Structure 1
Amino acid sequence: MAEAETVLRLEGICKSFPGVRALEQVSLELRRGEVHALVGENGAGKSTLMKILSGVYQADAGRILLGGQEVAIRNPREAQEAGISIIFQEFSLIRGFSVADNVFLNREPAGFLGHLDRRAARERTRSLLAEIGIQLPVDRKVEELSVVEQQVVEIVKALSFTASVLIMDEPSAALTDQELGRLFRIIRSLKQRGVTVIYISHMLEEVFQIADRVTVLKDGRVMGTHPAGELTKDGLIRLMVGRQIEDYFPPLGAGGGPELLEVRGLQRTGRLADISFQLRAGEILGLAGMVGSGRNLLARCLLGLEPHDAGEILLRGTRNAARSFRQAMKAGFGYITDDRKALGILGPRSLKENLTIANLQSYLAWGFLRRGREN
């Protein structure tokens, strides 16, 4: 392609952390209106490179050229002002604020005498949503939105800075197939506007569906940049790991262990109807369905987080109708939510506290926390 189509270029980017060389002479060229996938194993340097581009980290060496001019990006605000925005895997939204409030957070339109002009913020947000063909109530609180709708808010927030380069870090991590299709439609509309999208993902099927070109990182080095249409899945994996992979998944077991869980005729009026299944020891049981089909509700009923109107739940042949999640945990259930940030972790607390809080009773003596045992 012609040089004029290059919107952003990274040249010789290097970055080290104590004891680790994270990036070594990384060069990358991005073209206007393309979806450029960045792939590699965990620790390959993808996130570090994007944090440098978005102003979170500073490179030890190398340079960034935007529109042919070298730029210094010292912080995220400077990146946004230069037209570079990033959507992290964990969204940067305030859940109790509305869609419009989040889009213009810390740069709210001002009206007469400097008062906040919320009407202008709402109208501008509606206009940005219309540009990508999405209808979303701008007064709705973010905590009431689905994961893909929250991603839409992040995208609109980026567009409000007139982003020319949008970085999406593992955007599909918590999306269903239907939501992923909606996200791809939004990305294609961004392409038509001339926005360059950097798409970071471990899901290689997605890369082949949405990307125009693919850059592979391994151990902090660029292994190559290729048109997506010229790559195969096996070839891409070989570039990522440096060897041929024969078996992508471990062999399945026989699944003939004793029956652990049985659900008989579980019902929730208007939501679940006559759900029955069995689960054996060592078995993986998949639950599939469209958004709103009741998959999450069924799981929450099993865990005592939601009531059910009829039916039985048997654990090892014994009726087990957990009335709370604590009871379900004691019975041997575990739960990994699809919304880790809101429901799965305590963000302000340490890793140690997050690990022990699920079984805090084991670390108490006479009602006091035994710090030594916790450590």
Structure 2
Amino acid sequence: MTMTTIARRITGGVDTHLDVNVAAALDERGALLGIESFSTTAAGYRRLLHWLESFGTVELVGVEGTGSYGAGLTRHLLSREIAVVEVDRPNRQRRRLAGKSDPHDAVAAARAAQGGDATGLAKSRDGNVEAMRVLRVARFSARRSRTQAINQMRSLISTAPDELRAELRDLSIYKILTIASAYRYTGRTDVTTLTKLALRTLARRALSLEEEVKEIDRLLKALVNETAPELCAVDGVGTDVASAILVAAGDNPERLKSEATFAKLCGVSPLDASSGKQVRHRLNRSGDRQANSALWHIVFTRMVNDPRTQHYIERRMKDGRTKKEAVRCLKRYVSREVFAALPRSQFGLDNP
């Protein structure tokens, strides 16, 4: 009698680091098949996948840190049509009791993926949305540095010699930047001359950073309009808000199976805090805070120019809610509207 050999179904787990990835392989019964380390290079990613496939058919891989050290590996696995789920770092209490090691974390990642504890599909990070993310990083840095330079200028003006302080103290920041950036250095080393030199340096830095922000904004606007024209058409959504929401959803927003999933991702879904006879919900402080802020900006804009939003706020306040609580309710409703405008494959969703 001939017995047919059935290929094993493999679940992988990866603990990612800057220079090395530690992988573990489990079979369909949860038995540990092996642990191995691989370099964080394109060749290392190929060897890691080949190693997993040597045990059988790879069905799922749990990766710790798909948005940081595991981003490159995640892109490689997704390009080979292998499902990847995001694994949170191990529970601190368990780690304190059982100890911590890279092989142990890799096995824990594999078991979390296989056992269903890790269910969030990883972002693909291979399209326009990933380009928006890196541009937003540069934009945030430029805006923060510009603000820092301007604050330093204000501080220098407040302590500058009387003649220089009288010239600049009552001017708007734009006039200060224009005047200070045109100061000439005469080579003298007195306090007034060197204060002007410092102000000129900071002013030119602030103006340069402002140009960087404008250039990034132009690129972001083109990417957002190309990627999500329906989202841009939503009332209260501009380039900055749209890009923040798209970055939260990722290049593959079909991974978000329902509008409730998206609301939880944005941190606008209230959490059940009931106990005994007391039934209540509490504020959700988790989720993507930039996406949460983007939804707040939509609500705030509509509170100014949308009669329906104004009427809703008034009605909820008459019902005993505070204005802040009414805004939180509106953010949940807005998340539903925004979710419907995301660019996605409708066939990958439970709820359109």
Give the structure-1-normalised TM-score. Answer: 0.19
Asked which structure has the greater CA Rg, the reply is: 2
As a proportion of its length, which structure holds more helix?
2
Q: Give the TM-score normalised by structure 2.
A: 0.20
Between Structure 1 and Structure 2, the one with more strand by share is: 1
